[in-house]
């Protein structure tokens, strides 16, 4: 796609985030366009998770502005971010292990009857449809605990949630760090499916080769700053890895 024709979905402008004396993000500009997958890469401590958490409403910026489809927004809670169509999958757990699958899919957006009662029947039916649509078979009840799913299946449930609720963007913070090669492929196939559904994504990783095939564009974070952006077709695994290595050796000096 011609970059000039892209429409911004989320724009972060002049973002700072301080944790006491640590400047986790510094004058950061970061844009997510419609229908694209962005690889957000950088060394440990670069600020990747801080950026993701800010977009998911965990904390506001110390300074700076966030725009969604051109309108300035304040993201002060998880429900603010989901209201704007932002769905997040965290590094450690995409889902809550000791909850049943159905509750996990709905997480605060459960269908209720006119009197405000949970519509369990509808929840179960929809859950089974969602599991089926993502190719998770052999689960005969959505009342089973999420713990019974494999790591890759858990990520898939979280991704299915984004598809079902028609999220605009899915944020994935090192989603495959604890997964096997096969499970990783399962999640990556899903991410491609996501884009076919018109959902943008931000894929955080510090392993370039892992994300290279899945994303359209890279943004390199370095000590809280945007250190460069590259369209995939104009760069290579080597170029981006080189950029990260040269930056980390500067850090040592």
Ligand X SMILES: Nc1ncnc2c1ncn2[C@@H]1O[C@H](COP(=O)(O)OP(=O)(O)O)[C@@H](O)[C@H]1O
Q: Does 200 bind Mg ion (CB under 5 A)?
A: no
In the complex, least distance from residue 47 CB atom to ligand X, rounded to whole angstroms: 4
Q: What 8-state DSSP symbol labels residue 111?
A: -
Is the distance from CB of 164 to CB of 126 less than 8 angstroms?
Answer: yes
Contacts of 243 (CB under 8 A, 6+ apart): 220, 227, 228
Contacts of 196 (CB under 8 A, 6+ apart): none
Query: From the list 12, 41, 47, 151, which residue makes contact with ligand X (rule: CB under 6 A)?
Result: 47
In the complex, least distance from residue 54 CB atom to Mg ion, rounded to whole angstroms: 13
In the complex, least distance from residue 92 CB atom to ligand X, rounded to whole angstroms: 12
Q: Does 24 bind ligand X (CB under 6 A)?
A: yes
Is the distance from CB of 202 to CB of 40 less than 8 angstroms?
Answer: yes
Query: From the list 9, 33, 37, 48, which residue makes contact with ligand X (rule: CB under 6 A)?
Result: 48
Q: Does 49 bind ligand X (CB under 6 A)?
A: yes
Q: Does 50 bind ligand X (CB under 6 A)?
A: yes
In the complex, least distance from residue 137 CB atom to ligand X, rounded to whole angstroms: 35
**Which phi and psi angles does 213 have, rounded to 5°?**
-75, -20
Give the separation between CA 114 and CA 125, rounded to whole angstroms: 19
Q: With contacts defined by CB under 6 A, how many residues of the chain interact with ligand X?
A: 11
Helix 151-164 × helix 120-133 angle, to 10°? 110
Q: Does 49 bind Mg ion (CB under 5 A)?
A: yes
Closest CA to 204 of 190, 187, 221: 221
In the complex, least distance from residue 12 CB atom to Mg ion, rounded to whole angstroms: 17
Among the candidate windows 45-53, 139-147, 151-159, 219-227, which touches Mg ion by CB under 5 A?
45-53
Residues making contact with Mg ion (CB under 5 A): 48-49
Residues making contact with ligand X (CB under 6 A): 19, 22, 24, 42, 44-50
């Amino acid at each position: 796609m011609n970059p000039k024709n892209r429409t911004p979905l989320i724009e972060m402008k002049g973002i700072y985030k301080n944790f006491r004396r640590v400047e986790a993000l510094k004058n950061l500009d970061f844009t997510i366009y419609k229908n694209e997958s962005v690889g957000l890469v950088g060394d440990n401590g670069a600020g990747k998770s801080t950026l993701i958490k800010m977009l998911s409403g965990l904390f506001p910026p110390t300074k700076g502005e966030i725009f969604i489809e051109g309108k300035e927004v304040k993201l002060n809670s998880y429900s603010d971010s989901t209201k704007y169509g932002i769905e997040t999958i965290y590094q450690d757990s995409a889902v809550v292990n000791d909850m049943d699958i159905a509750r996990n899919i709905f997480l605060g957006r459960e269908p209720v009857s006119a009197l405000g009662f949970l519509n369990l029947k509808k929840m179960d039916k929809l859950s089974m449809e969602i599991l089926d649509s993502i190719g998770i078979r052999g689960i005969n009840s959505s009342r089973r605990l999420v713990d019974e799913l494999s790591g890759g299946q858990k990520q898939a449930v979280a991704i299915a949630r984004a598809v079902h609720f028609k999220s605009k963007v899915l944020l994935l913070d090192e989603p495959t760090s604890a997964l096997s090669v096969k499970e990783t492929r399962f999640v990556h196939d899903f991410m491609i499916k996501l884009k076919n559904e018109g959902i943008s994504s931000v894929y955080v990783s510090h392993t370039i080769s892992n994300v290279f095939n899945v994303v359209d564009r890279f943004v390199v974070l370095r000590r809280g700053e945007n250190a460069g952006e590259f369209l995939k077709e104009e760069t290579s695994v080597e170029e981006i890895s080189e950029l990260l290595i040269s930056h980390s050796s500067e850090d040592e000096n």
